[in-house]
Copies of this chain bind each other. A is one copy, B any other.
Amino acid sequence: MDKVNEIYMQQALEEAHRAALRQEVPIGAVIIYEQDIISVQGNRTRELNDPSAHAEMLAIREACQKLGAQRIPDCDLYVTLEPCTMCAAAIAFARIRRLYFGAQDLKGGAVVSGIKFFDLPTCHHKKIEITSGLLERECGDILTSFFQEKRKAKGISE
């Protein structure tokens, strides 16, 4: 099962790489339904001028559309970075069954960091199974490189 999980996360990671090529913060997400990938999405906040267009949000929206439901309790989500507060809440609304994420986000994360959304008394989706640290190094490295490049480019242009 671990191998399968890595294969799915690898897909999310490839989508994160594609996001970087678009100059988007490199985060990718896939949603699995009955062993099929039903959505692969990368961050598109810049491209869409949409502050809510995080990889997880786009993937949830696509999966919900495909399955014709607001709640997709038989779906699993793989995302390269720990979801933020907005995405954690959306994951709960969608009733995602299992959440796998790669790198931890100490600043913006809301699952094992920050408000720990799923542990809150107001969270209505406590049954979710959460696995962190899947391909953690690769998922973190792509973000580190992206921001290093950004800083370098800024230094040159200034």
Residues of A within 8 A of B (CB): 45-46, 48-52, 57, 60-61, 64-65, 67-71, 84-86, 88-90, 93-94, 107-108, 110, 114-115, 117, 120, 122
Contact = CB atoms under 8 A, between A and B. Distances in A.
A90 B60 contact: no
Contact of A51 (B50, B90, B108, B120): B90
Which of A64, A68, A71, A88 has the most C-beta atoms of chain B within 10 angstroms of its own C-beta? A64
A46 B110 CA distance: 26
Contacts of A69: 49
Given A115-B115, A120-B115, A122-B114, A70 B85 contact: no
Given A86-B86, A89-B85, A89-B89, A52 B60 contact: yes
Contacts of A94: 51
A51 B89 CA distance: 10
A70 B49 contact: yes
Contacts of A51: 60, 64, 70-71, 90, 93-94
A108 B123 CA distance: 9
Contacts of A68: 49
A51 B71 CA distance: 7
B93 A122 contact: no
Contacts of A71: 51
A93 B86 CA distance: 9
A68 B68 CA distance: 30
